[in-house]
Structures are given as C-alpha cells and as structure tokens.
C-alpha cells in the first residue's frame, strides 16, 4: 500500500484532502442519522419536557432520579437481560446443528435452505401478529388444535399469563433469529477445509469427536460474531413484545424498549424515556465494543 504515496520519480506525494473525499459522504450520513439523534436524545434526558411536548428547560439529573425511583424499573432490567440471554442461548443451541444439517448434501437441500430463510424474509411485525392470532385465547389456532385433539379441555389464554406469554415470545424471537445465525454458521462451516476433517478421520476420530475437537473450535469466530450481533438485535427488539402483549398484563412482560415507548407516548414522560434510552445506549455501546473486540480477535487469529 505504501508505494502509492510515491510518484514515479520517487518524491513523496500528499493528496490535498487525504482520504476525506472518499469517506465524507458516509461520515455525513453517520453524523446526521446516528450521532445527531443520539446527541438530541441525551440532551432531552437532561431536560424537562411538559406533557404537551413543550421543552421547559434543563433539570440536571432529575429525569434519571425519577426513572430510577420507579418501582418497576429493576424488574424490567432484570427481565430484559433474561430475555436477551435466553433468546441468544437457544438461538445458538438450535442453529449449530441446523447449520451442520444445511452443510450436508441431500436431495431437497435448496428447498430446505429457502424455508429456513423465510422467517428472516418476513417482517418481524407480521410474524409476531400471526403468532398473536394463533395464540388467541378464544379463537386461536393452537387452542382449536389442542381442544380438537383432546389434549386440553378448554381454550387457554396463552398470552394472558406473564410466564407463559414470555415463553411464547422467546420462542417467536428464536424462530426469527434462527435464519441469520444458522447462515452465518453455515458460512463459517464452509470455510473449514475438508482436509482437516479427513485428517481427523484418518487418525480414527469418531464423528462426534471430530466435531467438538476440530470443527467447533474452527467455527468459534463465526459463532462469536453471530452471538454478539444477535445480542444487539434482540436487545433492541421492540415489535415482538409490543405486538404480542404490549408488555402486559401490567408491566409484567415489559423490557426496556417497550417501557421506553410507554414512558414517552403513553405516560407522556419524554425526559424519563430519554433517560432510559440513554441507559440502553450505554449498554448497546458496550455490546458494540464487545463485537469489535470479537471480530478483531477473529482477524488476528487468521493471520
């Protein structure tokens, strides 16, 4: 690369603006659509916004202290971490064998691959809406099926009980996260040269042992990247919970994103909502640092 800095006569050449002309458009985009809104959000969290939307001035940390004083907040944070952790965990557990399956050659492979991509291609909103209707306590498909099969006597209001509702929503979130994760893992699997496996087989390793000792360690970078991206996606996810339960009954299925929305648009506490968004921003930021670290570690390893 460094030889580009020299003209044919060997003298040093400096581009007048450096790399700026090439990266300026993206810098402007990032500044306008990422940093400026984030800055406004943080600024709002230090301001008092009246119920009708008027900005009344700066109030220091009052929004933060009011937010922290809310009795439901601790549970909502705890639930958010549990929600994210469970989804990311189950997504990984299911995606690993799924990716290995997709890596095999069998008739109908293309069809299977298409079907696995489907939940990714469909909008999360409509997927959640479909599940909400399937789980409806009076008319839902699941209830009709289970009652007709005499597994249950009368319809169950699946989304009416916090724990059951959360379990279903985790299932929907895993369903939606599977395609991305398994395809990242599939890509990872395809970078593993066949010679390595053959060598293990020649040495007499069982398929199980080959997988855990050879394939899995080589797959780890891809897995880590998929995990962290899932972590960020799920943490920011809003539509699944909002469509299926609106965080109810009460706040019993709320996570930080849905609670943020309720604070701003239902309870008219724009300042507190911005404060919560700032907390979320900090947490996401740590996830991003984690991601950069993971992908950086990945690169070093390849070299």
Distance CA 247, CA 267 (A): 14
Binding of residue 35 to another protein (CB under 8 A): yes
Binding of residue 262 to another protein (CB under 8 A): yes
Nearer to another protein, 164 or 218 (CB): 164
Q: Sketch the per residue contact string, 60 through 89, with another protein: x for CB under 8 A, - otherwise.
A: x----------x------------------
Distance CA 214, CA 183 (A): 20
27, 29, 55, 118: residue in contact with another protein (rule CB under 8 A): 55
Binding of residue 28 to another protein (CB under 8 A): no
Binding of residue 268 to another protein (CB under 8 A): yes
> Which long-range contacts does 85-88 make (Cβ < 8 Å, 24+ apart)?
86/170, 87/170, 87/173, 87/174, 87/177, 87/230, 87/234, 88/177, 88/227, 88/230, 88/231, 88/234
Q: Where are the beta strands (DSSP E) in 61-187?
A: none
Structure tokens at 301: 């390893």
Whether a cis peptide bond, with omega within 30° of 0, leads into 301 is no
Residues 181-210 interacting with another protein (rule: CB under 8 A):
none
Binding of residue 216 to another protein (CB under 8 A): no
Number of residues that bind another protein (CB under 8 A): 48
Q: Sketch the per residue contact string, 219 through 258, with another protein: x for CB under 8 A, - otherwise.
A: --------------------------xxxxxxxx------
Distance CA 185, CA 92 (A): 9
Minimum Å gap between C-beta 6 and another protein is 24
Nearer to another protein, 187 or 294 (CB): 294
Q: Where are the beta strands (DSSP E) in the chain?
A: 47-49, 55-58
Residue 134 near residue 142, CB atoms below 8 Å: yes
Binding site for another protein (CB under 8 A): 35, 38-39, 42-43, 45-47, 49-58, 60, 71, 136-138, 157, 159-161, 245-252, 262, 265-270, 285, 288-289, 292-293, 296
């Amino acid at each position: 690369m460094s030889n580009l800095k020299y003209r044919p006569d060997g003298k040093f050449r400096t581009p007048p603006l450096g790399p700026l002309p090439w990266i300026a458009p993206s810098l402007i985009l990032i500044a306008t659509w990422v940093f400026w809104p984030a800055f406004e959000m943080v600024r709002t969290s230090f301001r008092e916004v009246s119920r009708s939307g008027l900005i009344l001035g700066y109030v220091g940390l009052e929004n933060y202290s009011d937010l922290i004083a809310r009795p439901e907040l601790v549970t909502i944070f705890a639930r958010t971490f549990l929600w994210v952790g469970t989804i990311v965990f189950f997504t990984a557990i299911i995606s690993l064998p799924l990716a290995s399956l997709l890596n095999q050659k069998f008739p109908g492979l293309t069809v299977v691959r298409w079907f696995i991509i489907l939940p990714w291609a469909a909008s999360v909103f409509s997927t959640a809406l479909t599940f909400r209707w399937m789980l409806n306590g009076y008319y839902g498909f699941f209830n009709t099926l289970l009652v007709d099969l005499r597994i249950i006597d009368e319809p169950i209001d699946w989304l009416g009980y916090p724990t059951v509702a959360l379990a279903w929503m985790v299932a929907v979130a895993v369903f939606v996260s599977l395609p991305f994760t398994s395809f990242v893992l599939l890509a990872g699997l395809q970078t593993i040269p066949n010679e390595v496996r053959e060598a293990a087989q020649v040495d007499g390793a069982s398929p199980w042992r080959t997988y855990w000792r050879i394939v899995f360690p080589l797959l780890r970078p891809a897995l880590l990247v998929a995990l962290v991206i899932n972590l960020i996606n799920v943490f920011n996810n809003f539509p699944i919970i909002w469509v299926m339960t609106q965080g109810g009954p009460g706040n019993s299925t709320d996570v930080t994103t849905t609670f943020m929305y309720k604070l701003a648009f239902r309870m008219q506490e724009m300042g507190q909502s911005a404060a919560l968004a700032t907390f979320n921003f900090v947490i996401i930021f740590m996830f991003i640092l984690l991601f950069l670290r993971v992908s950086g570690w990945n690169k070093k390893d390849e070299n």
